[in-house]
Chains A and B, each alone.
Chain A
Amino acid sequence: MTTHNPAAGGHQHSHHFDSAEHEYESDKLGIWLFMVTEILMFGGLFVAYIIFHQIYPEMFAEGAKQLSWKMGFFNTLVLIGSSLTMALGIYYNQINQSNKAFWNLIATLALGFVFLTVKYFEYASKFDTGFLPGKLLNVETVQATSQNLGMYFGLYFCMTGLHGLHVVIGMVLIGWLAYRTRRGDFNSEYYTPVEGVGIFWHIVDLIWIFLFPLLYLVG
């Protein structure tokens, strides 16, 4: 569905846009709108957190104590680092240095992998010690003082789980970008997908920056 339009600078764009620039701006607006929906979706979880934290502060404190803030902090640094490499991946694609862009995207992918590995160990230790979500948590086994500690871990697993799912989706997209970068699809004239996924990755990162203090530190 693309037509070649020499008047627009000699590169491809879809037939219903005037120029590549026009298409780029439209795509970017679309991506930002999609980010708004992501934030609103997580917003529902944050509202639930705030309400029940207000009602059961001791229960939340007891839950937060079971989490390792060191692991959470480490993962925060990992994600911030990955946002940097992601931004560099966009930058190098914009200035036609696709080799550097490629390796920065690979680094982002690797940091995403580190994040998930740490998350795996955190989840595994919670499963082993019986800190399971909701009704699966047996208050006597874990010797909890709060009778509804399952709610904290329900929220913990829902929030970090949904976030983790976004990390996985982001990694798949970044892998696809790395492949396309290697193939030479992107240059200073066309880098919309890299920038789009980059925005998505930064938002996922940003959501973690809120999740970390709320779940690990507040208590």
Chain B
Amino acid sequence: MGTATTNPNVNYLTEFSGVKSWLLSLDHKRIGLMYMIAILFFFLIGGLMAMLIRLELFSPGPTLFSADTYNQVLTYHGAIMVFMVIVPGIPAILGNFFLPLQIGAADVAFPKLNLASWYVFMFGAILAFSTLFTTKIDTGWTFYTPYSIKTGTAVITMVLAAFIMGMSSILTGLNFIVTVHKLRAPGMTIYRMPLFVWSLYSTAIIQVLATPVLGITLLLLVAERVLGIGIFDPKLGGDPVLFQHFFWFYSHPAVYIMILPAMGIISELISAFSRKTIFGYRAIAYSSLGIAAVSFIVWGHHMFVSGQSEIAGVIFSFITMLVGVPTAIKMFNWLATLYKGSVSFESPMLYALGFLFLFAIGGVTGIMLATLGVDVHFHDTYFVVAHFHYVMVGGTLMAIMGGFYYWFPKMFGKMYDESLARITFVLIFIGFNVTFFPQFILGAMGMPRRYFDYIPAYESLNKISTVGSWMISAGFFLALYVIIRGITSGEKAPANPWGAKTLEWQTPSPPPHFNFDKKPVVTGGPYDYT
């Protein structure tokens, strides 16, 4: 087609102007940025909640607020971070922006549906926040029965909000699957797709297959509250553990919705900043699909102590450990890519290396928790909290930050301040370890999660953890400043500042409205650095 302009001053940001040109835009790049603004805002709120939690736990006894308020803050922190930040984060922002660019397409397969997904997401988010002004919910983000049936708070509104945001997630996943199948540029065979695309594709499969089950679970919870149909209520002959089965049948695969795209970003970063062909391309690509497949049959490890049968526990324990295999394959290949590469340490690469370090800890502690006998001790302690924060924050958020810096020049056509960006890494990386490493020890000492109080023996480690949370937030606020200053007064970015080989770097920064001036024809792989 190549009907777009060749004037270098006209790009997707400048070709149209006005609020309406954004709110009604069908351009995947603009929709990606709209997601970015919304999700950054939600991240700010969820992050402030985290700060409040840590402040409350600074010393034993009531520090800031009551136990009831603590339960509410804890619930909103979890629900916001899971449903509004980490699940949609990478696919909706960076995936939307770069999936079509990386496969040489002019847009996603269904641009209108893409815009609709954003509105559905925003509607769900607003509904969720509306509960802050009615009765704040206090169930924890998992909405476990029977408490979620009994509590007199706005569970129904919150659950419907999660249902609606789930719909948005399904539509995004559906859009990506069709885009990958149908819109690859000529010559873009599946083995020439960047690994970020592979990981988004695997994620999309989970989004499409798992999210509907969460949807019906949440609807049944609503029915349970309104009609008392009794399937989750032991008083009426129902089974509260069934809710956990249903819930984790979605929510465990959802954990991989959170981490798979992060792994995709890491593959891009490691290769680009080692100036070396990625080691084991196919192994990394298929391990994404492998993780997606195994993710559906491990949900029972959330119920080792919920009264499921012992044999089920043993089987789920074994299958859960299998997740370690494709994950370790990826780790191995990333390290092998670094070997004898021309490694340089720009801030995206620092985040990628930080990911390797933190994700290794998160992964290995995951294996510990998968071990049935060990989990009985660690279950519902801070060990679990530390584990999933190492994976979700140390893994996913590190990758988001690395990805943001890496693609920032392409998204905005400007460069950010590299030395400040490195400082953000130092603050976040050190702060993160200071916050969460003590929690492993606290968990091993037996400190239960979700409680607003603790015995004096846990005090010093909790104080260290809270101080760490101040460092993390200083790092994120500085990162926000780096981004804003980069957008407003950064130097002009060249088309390919990192010398990377994937397609998005072969078009101007920022890209024109239709992505490429001329429809690209692909003749080589995504990581041909030789």
Contact = CB atoms under 8 A, between A and B. Distances in A.
B237 A41 contact: no
Interface in A38-80: 38, 40-45, 47-48, 51-52, 55-56, 59
Nearest to B232: A48
Contacts of B26: 1
A154 B231 contact: yes
B220 A1 contact: no
A29 B105 CA distance: 17
A218 interface: no
B183 interface: yes
Interface stretch (A132-140, A170-178, A209-217): A132-140
A42 B174 CA distance: 18
A162 B174 CA distance: 22
A192 B43 CA distance: 40
Contact of A150 (B181, B228, B239, B242): B228
Interface in B210-241: 211-213, 215-217, 219-220, 223-224, 227-231, 236-239
B208 interface: yes
A183 interface: no
Nearest to B209: A40
A37 B182 contact: no
User: In terms of DSSP, what is the predominant structure of the interface of chain B?
Assistant: helix
A45 to B, nearest CB: 6
B231 A151 contact: yes
A38 B3 CA distance: 39
Interface stretch (B106-114, B345-353, B450-458): B106-114
Contacts, number: 128
Contacts of A51: 239, 242
Given A38-B212, A43-B213, A155 B182 contact: no
B471 interface: no
B178 A37 contact: no
B170 interface: yes
A169 interface: no
A3 interface: yes
B470 interface: no
Nearest to A1: B26
A110 interface: no
A174 B212 CA distance: 24
User: In terms of DSSP, what is the predominant structure of the interface of chain A?
Assistant: helix
Contacts of B236: 134-135, 148, 150-151
B211 A48 contact: no
B19 interface: no
Given A3-B3, A36-B208, A151-B229, A16 B237 contact: no
Contact of B216 (A22, A29, A42, A134): A42
B420 interface: no
A208 B301 CA distance: 34
B3 A30 contact: no
A163 to B, nearest CB: 12
B1 interface: yes
A118 interface: no
B205 to A, nearest CB: 10
B286 interface: no
A154 B1 contact: no
A95 to B, nearest CB: 26
Nearest to A30: B178
B177 interface: yes
Nearest to A38: B212
A142 interface: no
Interface string B102-141: 0001110111010000000000000000000000000000
B220 A37 contact: no
A154 B111 CA distance: 39
A40 B105 contact: no
Nearest to A28: B178
Interface in A74-127: none
Contacts of A29: 177-178, 181-182
Contacts of A33: 174, 177-178, 208
A34 interface: yes
Interface string B414-450: 0000000000000000000000000000000000000
Nearest to B183: A16
B252 to A, nearest CB: 15
A3 B4 CA distance: 12
Contacts of A162: 219
B242 A154 contact: no
A56 B111 CA distance: 48
Nearest to B181: A29
A133 B212 contact: no
A154 B237 CA distance: 13
Given A26-B109, A44-B246, A48-B231, A158 B182 contact: no
Nearest to A135: B228
B514 interface: yes
B216 A16 contact: no
A36 B209 contact: yes
Given A38-B212, A44-B216, A155 B229 contact: yes
Contacts of B238: 52, 151
A55 B242 CA distance: 13
Interface string A176-209: 0000000000000000000000000000000000
A44 B217 contact: yes
Give the top 4 A-B pairs by smallest Cβ distance, nearest first.
A154-B229, A135-B228, A44-B216, A134-B227
22 contacts: A1-B26, A1-B111, A16-B107, A16-B109, A16-B183, A17-B182, A25-B182, A26-B182, A30-B109, A33-B178, A34-B174, A37-B170, A40-B209, A41-B213, A42-B216, A44-B212, A45-B216, A134-B223, A136-B228, A151-B237, A158-B219, A158-B229
Given A16-B109, A37-B211, 4 more contacts: A15-B107, A16-B111, A17-B183, A154-B231
